[in-house]
Amino acid sequence: MSKKERLVAAIQDGTVIDHIPAAKTFQVANLLQLERLSTPVTIGYNFTSNKVGRKGIIKVSNRFFTDAEISHLSVVAPNAVLNIIHDYEVAEKKTVRTPDELRGIVKCNNPKCITNNEPTGTIFHVVDKSEGILRCHYCEKEQHIDQVELCK
Amino acid sequence: MEKHNFVDIKSFDKQQLLYLIEMAREFERFPNRELLKGRVIATLFYEPSTRTRLSFETAANRLGARIIGFTDAKVSSVSKGETLKDTILMVSNYADIIVMRHHIEGAAQYAAEVAPVPIVNAGDGAHQHPSQCLLDLYSIAQTQGTLENLDICLVGDLKYGRTVHSLLMAMRHFNPTFHFIAPKELAMPEEYKIFCSQNGIRFEEHHDFTPEIISQADILYMTRVQRERFSDLMEYEQVKNVYILRNDMLTDARENMKILHPLPRVNEIAYDVDENPHAYYIQQAKNGLFARQAIFAHCLGITLDEIQADITIL
């Protein structure tokens, strides 16, 4: 890709998160707690994409995410791709895998659930990965992964 | 020692359920003992439930334990804004077992995770009421001599009735055939029908409650059709008298058939049924005592052998 075509500055080492649905870009940044980093982070969105319409891209220098951290993205950007960059080259591509369990990520949509009435974190079991069905560990109400509200 | 909670009937496998039933049977033979002498049991009732509380407290009293607790959250520190976690940790300092009824769903599971002592779920909102389920299983086992291969009719509110959902889940180990008899608005939810299919449980759905269906049943499990469950009161008016059991409907019932009801009843079982030998709902409530004695034994790691060899029987 020529310099003119390049969307945002290249990074030497780090992670480029691509194919984020544009509207979810900041949620991805939140889930990965990028605001806590001291390394350079570039957040871009509303780029044209054949895959998701308008997409977001996040470039994070000198930071590599664990599989557990990446799995958190399954609730907002299941089709995101993480390019692991070493010395300006893509050394590895990682996709988002739906985890068996989500801790402290998703809010329970049952107002009578203990997690909405007590200062405690949520736990969800992913009971059907192909359909994206989550079940609250406490009240056992089910919700769809596409319709979740994230914990603040 | 490993902590044994009693929070959720689903977490018990077939052998464990049969073991609890066997323990309840021993307690029915000799309900008065000093097996729990020197123990303290806390009953924390965040919402009133006289029947369940009396049953748990009687179970504790007849085993020689002492009881602390409250019957209304208004008199506890909850009214001062204390979290459930703090209350549970505080009471854990005093009691060997905590029995809790709460209006919030999942409260018992949460309490079990934070408490150093065993938690017994005496009902958490619309979610679970596992001690009711155990006494239902015990009642079925006592009246039929087995839990295997039974025909069970569930009648009334199958949508919101947590007792029928728990019973359905617990019976999955015992090859039952279910008949779901309910108005459309209160039909068995799809998720439980899927559960039946996945677990090879046979079921049929009916909207009419007839002597013919009753004649196929070993257990007739009645529930209350509650007015407040209906969005359309016209529909309530139409169905409210359809799911009432009357004595003359029992003529062709199987000899072994028993009528269960979690109680309280309003009008869904006519009073003339009370004298019929098929009626079992009052004895069923009594079984709650033995089931809850078994739950306490389970929580404290007391074995069936110890109960059988108990020298504290009064």
Establish whether B263 is an annotated binding residue.
yes
DSSP state letters, B145-185: S-STT-EEEEES-TTT-HHHHHHHHHGGGG--EEEEE--GG
What pLDDT score does B235 carry? 81
Contact state of B127 with A114 under an 8 Å Cβ cutoff: no
What pLDDT score does B187 carry? 93
User: Which residues, including other chains, have CB under 8 Å from residue B296's CB and lie 6 or more apart?
Assistant: B36, B41, B59, B60, B63, B65, B97, B120
Chain B interface residues (partner A, CB cutoff 8 A): 83-85, 103-107, 109-110, 125-127, 191
Establish whether A108 is an annotated binding residue.
yes
Q: How many beta-carbon pairs below 8 A join chains A and B?
A: 44
Alpha-carbon distance A22 to nearest alpha carbon in chain B (angstroms): 35
Q: Assign domain B9-128+288-308 to its CATH architecture.
A: 3-Layer(aba) Sandwich (3.40)
Residues A10 and A44: beta-carbon distance below 8 Å = no
A146 pLDDT above the threshold of 90: no
Report which secondary-structure segment, H or E, holds B58.
Answer: helix B50-62
Residues B120 and B98: beta-carbon distance below 8 Å = yes
Contact state of A138 with B84 under an 8 Å Cβ cutoff: no
Of A114, A137, A141, Cβ closest to residue B104: A114
What pLDDT score does B230 carry? 78
Alpha-carbon distance B103 to nearest alpha carbon in chain A (angstroms): 8
Alpha-carbon distance B102 to nearest alpha carbon in chain A (angstroms): 10
- Taking contacts as CB-CB distances below 8 angstroms, the residues of chain A near B109 are 114, 137-138
* Residue in A with minimal Cα distance to B83: A118
Contact state of B105 with A120 under an 8 Å Cβ cutoff: no
Predicted confidence pLDDT, tens digits, chain B (314 residues): 678 999 999 999 999 999 999 999 999 999 999 999 999 999 999 988 888 999 999 999 999 999 999 998 877 767 778 899 999 999 999 999 999 999 999 999 999 999 999 999 999 988 999 999 999 999 999 999 999 999 999 999 999 888 999 999 999 999 999 999 998 888 999 989 999 999 999 999 999 999 999 999 999 999 998 887 777 888 888 888 889 999 999 999 999 999 999 998 988 999 999 999 999 999 999 999 999 999 999 999 999 999 999 999 99
Of B85, B125, B127, Cβ closest to residue A118: B85
Interface test with B, best of A107, A115, A116, A118 (most B CBs within 10 A): A118
In angstroms, the CA B70 to CA B155 distance is 34
Residues B264 and B223: beta-carbon distance below 8 Å = no
Domain B131-284 has CATH 3.40.50.300: no
In this structure, are strands B258-260 and B219-222 parallel, antiparallel, or unpaired? Answer: parallel
Alpha-carbon distance B85 to nearest alpha carbon in chain A (angstroms): 8
Contact state of A138 with B105 under an 8 Å Cβ cutoff: yes
Sheet strands side by side (includes B177-181): B202-206, B177-181, B151-155, B219-222, B258-260
Establish whether B132 is an annotated binding residue.
yes
In angstroms, the CA A84 to CA A41 distance is 14
Of A112, A113, A118, Cβ closest to residue B83: A118
Tens of pLDDT, residues B160-211: 888 999 999 999 999 999 999 998 888 999 989 999 999 999 999 999 999 9
The pair phi, psi for residue B133, each rounded to 5°, is -65, -45
Tens of pLDDT, residues A97-106: 999 999 999 9
- Domain(s) labelled CATH 3.40.50.1370 in chain B stretch across 9-128+288-308, 131-284
Tens of pLDDT, residues A38-85: 999 999 999 988 877 899 999 999 999 999 899 989 999 999 999 999
A129 pLDDT above the threshold of 70: yes
Coil/strand/helix, residue B121: strand
Contact state of A138 with B103 under an 8 Å Cβ cutoff: no
Dihedral sign, CA of B76, B80, B85, B91? negative
Q: What is the mean pLDDT of chain A?
A: 90
Where residue A6 falls among pLDDT bands split at 50, 70, 90? low
Average pLDDT over every residue of A94-120:
94
Residues B163 and B6: beta-carbon distance below 8 Å = no
Establish whether A151 is an annotated binding residue.
no
What pLDDT score does A7 carry? 56
B306 token code pair: 């110890």
ipTM over 0.85: yes
What pLDDT score does B225 carry? 85
- Taking contacts as CB-CB distances below 8 angstroms, the residues of chain B near A137 are 106, 109
Contact state of B84 with A114 under an 8 Å Cβ cutoff: yes
Alpha-carbon distance B40 to nearest alpha carbon in chain A (angstroms): 27
Task: List domains and CATH numbers for chain A.
Answer: 14-95 (3.30.70.140), 101-150 (2.30.30.20)
